[in-house]
Chain A
Amino acid sequence: MSRFADLFMGMLGAAPKKPEVVSERVQTIMFRKYEDKDRYIKEKMHARDHHLVSHKWRNRRWAVLLAVNLLFVFSFWLDIQILEGALTASRFVGFHLIDLNSALQVMLAHKHIIVNLFIGTFTVFLIWVLLGGRTFCSWVCPYHLLAEWAEALHLKLVEKKLVTDHEFHRGTRTVFWLLFALLAIVTGYTVFETLSPTGILSRALIYGPGLALGWVGLLLVFEIVYSRRAWCRYVCPIGLTYGAVGSLSPLRVSFHVEHCFHEGDCRKVCLVPHVLDVTVKGRASEESMSLGPDCTRCGLCVDVCPTGALRYEVKGLSQLL
């Protein structure tokens, strides 16, 4: 339980800690890697040579993300009425679905909950408990996709030494979450929604573009020239809300220390590299560990790892199989 608490605190912004106790198995594994260094290095080179850069999960994810968003668009444009509404709230063949963070904003601002709102929120809650909360971020949120492309551009510019990355404290996102909740209560308006690029983009796709896209553009420029993935990493309360829900989820990315070379390719591609802290030498306490709740299950690390030390896993299922 305390590991769960540590991971949760990590999501809120606490720095990752070294494990206090390391299991016997892990100690033997690490010892073997140390003893048999030459073989280990050889193995590593071998794996590297044979590792094709794969985009398997990324491509699947982009396909899902586009499909979901286009389903919204076509439901309205072609009037096929499968997924009506926008990402903040919708109806999927008649069932209410309501985004947890938007619902929270509305409840705090309006201080009143009607039945439909509750039903829709509960359905979505269940979906993301099953699928893993932050799965929403990387598999559904349209801003995530744009930000991913902006990030690629940012990294190119960094490589050419045209810009430098400015990191903020990860705890700011927790502060934002609290501030936006407080603002909703005090002002009686859903203040966060005014700026939420997720809502703005979803509506722009479905109902047509507007001035609000200018704000989304500014955000992307900020991320390209100043701070890598700033909105998703340091600001967006949606991610934190879903992260909290997803902490209960059985679906996750797991890490297997035996196969890991501790080179950190995964941490370089990750939106939330602090969840991959276990891949640092000496940070894993168990032979296989699931990543923290902040993980968006985007699979970039799964794709990039040459040895398959990171995989998707449904908790409890691997033991059953």
Chain B
Amino acid sequence: MNAPVEKPKKPAMSLEKAAKARRKFLQSVGLTGGVVGLSLLGYIPVLGASAHRLRPPGALNEADFLSSCIKCGQCVQVCPVEAIKLGDMIDGFGVGVPHIDPRQQACDFSCDAVQCILACPTGSLTYKKPPFLNIREGALLAAAPILKAKENDPEPTLNLKERIGVARLARPSACLAVQGKGFKGQARGAGFPGKMRYMDVDRWKPIPIAEHPYDLPLCDLCVRECPVKGAIELRPFKSADGTSRMQPVVLEPCVGCGVCEMVCPAEPAAIVVDAQATWHGEVALAPAPAVTPKEPS
């Protein structure tokens, strides 16, 4: 027996219905094309040279980083100084991917153990790269960096193999040390919200830089506050007018954390971190810049 309630047999598709189906199909194709097209706009910032962001410590090479990061922000959550921020729509495929803007808030390793790497579930931030992911020449650190804050601990080093960038004295003429000047007061002014750990204040808790004023006969903030041992030093040089001056020189152990850039009182910073840059040897001291030149505009 058949089910007693049955609809009558469907007639062949009417013209109207066929037209409707065709419209629906075309609209569906339009929708597909539209959404995929939009998603591919993500290429623009990625291909643009401007996309070089400073990534958190242990980050894979840029392309691998973008492909492997699951955009969860667990690295953001563990950072005690809140150095890590997530990318927005203008980052294209980098939306939701972490980066650090060192001038605003650098990574100062307040966490002691590169916690962001520990938190990352995908290996985008990693202590040790799998062998098939290449290490760019000059990214590898010669030795495990010694954290000044842990210098007296039994295990003073950071479990970090590659640098994320390299610091560079970008505007020597703006550097107070080069000018022979000292520095007194808050490094970035009273309103600056950035934080840093000062061992002599609290071993565990970072405090606002604004709460830690300085009084230095010769500015050496970048050298003094660099968290990594032997990454930067102040060296004498002969300036153009023959006087003897000092200037910061970045050395091989620099990991690119950006503390020097954050703390530099010159505006804009005299020293900056080149994100994702690699080590190419020391930048030569000579020729020395003149002492009071015009700021190039």
Contacts and interface: CB of A to CB of B under 8 A. Distances in A.
Interface of A: 22, 26-27, 30-31, 33-34, 75-76, 84-86, 88-91, 96, 98-99, 102-103, 106, 109-110, 112, 114, 116-117, 120, 166-169, 171-172, 175-176, 179-180, 183, 187-195, 199-200, 203, 206-207, 210-212, 214-215, 230, 234-235, 281-282
B88 interface: yes
A183 B95 contact: no
B36 A106 contact: no
A212 B88 contact: yes
Nearest to B1: A27
Given A98-B121, A168-B31, A195-B39, A109 B1 contact: no
A168 B28 contact: yes
B70 A168 contact: no
Q: Which of B66, B92, B130 has the most CB of A within 10 A?
A: B66
Given A27-B3, A34-B5, A172 B28 contact: yes
Given A86-B72, A110-B122, 9 more contacts: A34-B5, A85-B77, A90-B72, A91-B121, A187-B93, A193-B95, A194-B39, A194-B92, A282-B7
Given A89-B70, A175-B32, A168 B24 contact: yes
B4 A112 contact: no
A157 B24 CA distance: 21
Interface in B33-81: 35-36, 38-40, 42-43, 46, 63-64, 66-74, 76-77
Contacts of A214: 89
Contacts, number: 165
Nearest to A194: B42
Contacts of B38: 195
A86 B28 contact: no
29 contacts: A30-B5, A34-B5, A84-B74, A86-B73, A88-B70, A89-B74, A102-B70, A103-B70, A106-B69, A106-B122, A110-B122, A112-B132, A116-B122, A117-B121, A117-B122, A169-B25, A189-B46, A189-B66, A190-B71, A192-B39, A194-B39, A199-B96, A200-B95, A210-B86, A210-B89, A212-B89, A230-B31, A235-B35, A281-B5
Given A172-B31, A188-B67, A191-B39, A30 B89 contact: no
Interface in B95-110: 95-96
A234 B31 contact: yes
Nearest to A98: B121
Contacts of A175: 32
A114 B90 CA distance: 29
Nearest to B38: A195
Contacts of A172: 28, 31-32
Contacts of B76: 207
A247 to B, nearest CB: 24
B73 A206 contact: yes
Nearest to B130: A112
B36 A179 contact: yes
Interface residues of B, number: 49
A118 to B, nearest CB: 10
A191 B40 contact: yes
A115 to B, nearest CB: 9
A191 B6 CA distance: 47
A103 B21 CA distance: 36
Contacts of B7: 281-282
A203 to B, nearest CB: 6
B71 A183 contact: no
A187 B121 CA distance: 22
Contacts of B6: 282
B48 to A, nearest CB: 14
B27 interface: yes
Label chain A's interface by main secondary structure.
helix
Contacts of B256: none
A203 B89 contact: no
Contacts of A84: 74, 77, 119
Contact of B71 (A102, A191, A230, A235): A102
B20 to A, nearest CB: 10
B63 A188 contact: yes
Contacts of B122: 89, 106, 110, 114, 116-117
A297 to B, nearest CB: 25
B248 interface: no
A191 to B, nearest CB: 5
A166 B25 CA distance: 12
A102 B121 CA distance: 12
Q: Give me the 9 closest cross-chain CB pairs, A-B, nearest first.
A: A89-B72, A109-B67, A114-B123, A210-B88, A110-B68, A189-B93, A85-B72, A194-B42, A169-B28
Contacts of B40: 183, 191
Contact of B3 (A88, A199, A203, A282): A282
Q: Which of A116, A169, A215 has the most CB of B within 10 A?
A: A169
A203 B39 contact: no
A192 B1 CA distance: 51
A210 to B, nearest CB: 4
A165 to B, nearest CB: 12
Contacts of B64: 110
Given A34-B5, A88-B71, A106-B67, A117 B95 contact: no
A166 B132 CA distance: 49
